[in-house]
Amino acid sequence: MPLTTTRKQELINEHQTHGTDTGSVEVQVAMLSERINQLSGHLQKNIHDFSSRQGLLKMIGRRKRLLSYLRNISEERYAALIARLGIRG
């Protein structure tokens, strides 16, 4: 199940860096994290859905690469984002 338009807009509004920002690293990671959470719930109920599992692993890898890029660019933005999303302990 994809993200709804209203949920996407909420995520953009929460994580954008300026008024017209829709594609910054923070926004992309927030959307990926939301989708990963939805897909994880789906896979807990449907353990034999291997196609979705492969898509989940690809999304996790993409999020990891984006976070690595953000960490190299700005440690402060990286720390703020992972604290806001709660994706690392």
| Domain edges within the chain | 5-11+24-85
For 36-73, letters b (16+ CB in 10 Å) and e give: beebeeebeeeeeeeeeeeebeebeeebeebbeebeee
| Residues of the chain under the 70 pLDDT cut | 89
**pLDDT of the residue at 88:** 80
**pLDDT of the residue at 6:** 95
Choose which CATH entry (3.40.50.800, 1.10.357.10, 1.20.1050.10, 1.10.287.10) describes domain 5-11+24-85: 1.10.287.10
**pLDDT of the residue at 89:** 41
- Reported pTM: 0.91
**pLDDT of the residue at 34:** 96
**pLDDT of the residue at 2:** 84
